[in-house]
Amino acid sequence: MAIDAVGGALVCACLAVGAWFALGPPRQAAAELRAHRDEAIRLDDEVSQMRATLLAAQERRQAARQRVESLGALPRRMKVEHDLNTIAELARDHNLSLSHVEPVATTDYPGVREARYTIRGTGRFPDWMAFLHAFEAGRFWADITNLDIGPPRGTRTAPDADPETTLTVSFYAATDPGGPAEEEATNP
Q: Is residue 167 part of a domain?
A: yes
Please check the confidence at residue 72 and state whether its pLDDT lies above 50.
Answer: yes
Domain boundary among 70, 86, 121: 70
Residues 114 and 163 in one domain: yes
| pTM for the full predicted model | 0.54
Q: Which of 91-95, 119-123, 137-141, 184-188 has the lowest mean pLDDT?
A: 184-188
- pLDDT at residue 89, rounded to an integer: 93
Same structural domain, 62 and 104 = no
Average pLDDT of the residues in 8-12? 87
Domain total of the chain: 2
Outline where DSSP puts E strands in the chain.
Answer: 77-78, 97-109, 112-122, 142-150, 164-174, 182-183
User: Is 177 found in the same domain as 98?
Assistant: yes
Q: Is residue 188 part of a domain?
A: no
- 62/106 same-domain check: no
Write out the residue range of the structural domain in which residue 17 sits. Answer: 2-70
What would the pLDDT profile of 164-188 be if each residue is shown by its tens digit? 899 999 998 888 755 544 555 444 4
121 CB-side CA count, 13 A? 22
